């Protein structure tokens, strides 16, 4: 038997759904198919439980695209659909499918309308979609499973040495923490922690998310405003200071800290960042 996940949105949205997809596969012994934007298909290589990824651009789909998607979902033996999309087109498509259990936050195609709680890490909030099919979710306990080869390759790209490894991942957006602050931070830390190793990386590319996941897992701590890198750190169990993230958008566990609020970070003091890293 199978479950279908319809997941619009960017890389961060996809990563936040990984624990829910994994829990469904494990607890129900289902095979899983995921429909997401074509540029994000490589991300799902991180989860072996996914047997097939269906490329679908929810934001710019034609009537023919919806018809093709309907053809894809009517043939396999789907028992459940977790629908994170919305709109008349997706409702029409699902209402013509043979899927008996269809969970969504709204829409006329839903057989179960779920109430998504506020004030939770988005990955944990997805439990609302799983309860109707008897699946429980502890998203904070989920960990990505990466191959030794991928981790070894990531380790080979890090600076040499045996000191703690700090991965810096700015978003590079107009409201991000200033570039000069990112560049100066390792030197300020090294003044009190001489063995520090650091590497600054650009925003995560959708085509190279598995490689970024290995790099995050190979680091000792991550400082990031890049949303995808933050989610990878949360799913890898790597300690992270997430710039521009409020505490209620993160799991409540040791080693995870939000700093600043969503919006401009240009005035965030470096002293606050150092303190969040435990070096203030």
Q: Give yes or no on whether 2-141 and 148-276 have one common fold.
A: yes
Could you please state the CATH topology (level 3) that the domain comprising 148-276 is classified under. Rossmann fold (3.40.50)
**How confident is the model at residue 221, as a pLDDT?**
96
**Residue ranges of domains in the chain:** 2-141, 148-276
pLDDT beneath 70, residues of the chain: 280
pLDDT in tens, 47-72: 999 999 999 999 999 999 999 999 98
pTM here?
Answer: 0.93
pLDDT in tens, 230-248: 999 999 999 999 999 988 8
**How confident is the model at residue 280, as a pLDDT?**
59
Residue among 43, 27, 32 at smallest CA distance from 6? 32
**Is 231 in contact with 211 (CB distance < 8 Å)?**
no
Residue among 213, 208, 202, 206 at smallest CA distance from 179? 202
Architecture in CATH of 2-141? 3-Layer(aba) Sandwich (3.40)
pLDDT in tens, 104-125: 999 999 999 999 988 889 999 9
């Amino acid at each position: 038997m199978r479950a279908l996940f319809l997941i619009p949105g960017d890389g961060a949205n996809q990563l936040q759904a990984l624990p829910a997809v994994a829990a469904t596969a494990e607890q129900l012994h289902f095979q899983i198919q995921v429909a997401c934007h074509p540029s994000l298909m490589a991300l799902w290589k991180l989860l072996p439980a996914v047997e097939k990824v269906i490329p679908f651009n929810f934001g710019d789909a034609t009537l023919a695209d919806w018809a093709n998607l309907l053809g894809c979902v009517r043939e396999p033996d789907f028992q459940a659909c977790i629908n994170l999309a919305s709109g008349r087109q997706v409702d029409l498509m699902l209402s013509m499918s043979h899927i008996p259990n269809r969970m969504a936050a709204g829409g006329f195609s839903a057989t179960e309308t779920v109430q998504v709680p506020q004030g939770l890490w988005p990955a944990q909030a997805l439990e609302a979609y799983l309860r109707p099919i008897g699946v429980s979710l502890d998203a904070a306990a989920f960990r990505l499973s990466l191959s030794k080869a991928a981790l070894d390759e990531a380790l080979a790209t890090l600076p040499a040495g045996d000191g703690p490894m700090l991965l810096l991942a700015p978003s590079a957006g107009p409201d991000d923490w200033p570039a000069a602050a990112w560049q100066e931070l390792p030197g300020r830390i090294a003044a009190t922690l001489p063995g520090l190793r650091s590497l600054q990386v650009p925003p995560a590319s959708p085509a190279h998310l598995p490689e970024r996941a290995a790099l995050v897992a190979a680091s000792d701590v991550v400082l990031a405003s890049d949303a995808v890198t933050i989610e990878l750190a949360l799913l890898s169990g790597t300690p992270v200071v997430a710039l521009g993230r409020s505490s209620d958008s993160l799991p409540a566990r040791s080693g995870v800290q939000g700093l600043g609020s969503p919006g401009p970070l240009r005035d965030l003091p470096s002293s606050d960042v150092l303190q969040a890293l435990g070096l203030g």
